């Protein structure tokens, strides 16, 4: 569950960066982290 925490932190940081600095930060940082979090959750439910 540590990976959930760190991936969530990356998502939040990407959202914050997109709001305050540049929207492309969301696409470069948050979108890959969202996919990684989703795949992590799916893989843990399968096993």
User: What is the number of structural domains in the chain?
Assistant: 1
Give residue 29's pLDDT band: very low, low, confident or very high (50, 70, 90): very high
Asked if 20 and 39 touch (Cβ cutoff 8 Å), the reply is: no
Q: How many CB atoms lie within 10 A of CB 11?
A: 19
SS (H, E, C) the chain: CHHHHHHHHHHHHHHHHHHHCCCHHHHHHHHHHHHHHHHHHHHHHHC
Number of helices and strands in the chain (H, E): 3, 0
Average pLDDT over residues 13-31: 95
The domain containing residue 42 runs over which residues? 2-46
- Has residue 46 got a pLDDT over 90? no
pLDDT at 1: 86
């Amino acid at each position: 569950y540590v990976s959930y925490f760190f991936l969530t932190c990356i998502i939040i940081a990407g959202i914050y960066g997109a709001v305050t600095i540049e929207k492309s930060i969301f696409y470069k940082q948050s979108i890959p982290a969202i996919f990684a979090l989703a795949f992590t959750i799916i893989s843990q439910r399968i096993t």
